[in-house]
Amino acid sequence: MKNTLIAATLAVAGATSVDAQEIGVYPAGSGPSMLASAENFTGHVVVSPLLPSTVDTPSASGLVSFAPSARTAWHTHPAGQMLIVTAGKGWVQREGEARQEIAAGDTVWIPAEVKHWHGATDVTAMSHIAITYVRDGKNADWMELVTDGQYADR
């Protein structure tokens, strides 16, 4: 599924968008959690939607939970992505650079069009809130899976 977070956020309260002029409260669990696609993720990854997109603030948001060794495929975002790590430890890596450790409380900014991956460490689960900005109806361009060798490369 190319736009997992968009699909998940649209499921919240059955909305296609929210009224940007109203305060909205979306109770935990108002949208169904889903297993992330094996096409774009390795390992056990659960995506839980948080807030639907609006016309004024086109973004997809979700709580993404990675089991140990679970990770995204290589991908880019046409308008960037913010990750807020809520639990555990993980890694984020930009193509051609060393991976970086991320932990609960950290915030990560991934600029537009930067090829990268992120996920849990090999021994620790990790969860993050992902806020992915949408451009032209798209929040991600998915590429090849991160190989076990790339993942283990320190």
Rounded to whole angstroms, the Cα distance separating 91 from 111 reads 17
pLDDT, tens only, 86-142: 999 999 999 999 999 999 999 999 999 999 999 999 999 999 999 999 998 899 999
Environment class of 6 (CB within 10 Å of its CB; exposed 0-12, middle 13-18, buried 19+): buried
Rounded to whole angstroms, the Cα distance separating 149 from 154 reads 10
pLDDT, tens only, 29-46: 778 899 999 999 999 999
pTM, entire model: 0.84
Rounded to whole angstroms, the Cα distance separating 61 from 47 reads 10
For the domain spanning 4-152, the CATH number is: 2.60.120.10
Asked if 115 and 61 count as a contact pair (C-beta separation under 8 A), the reply is no
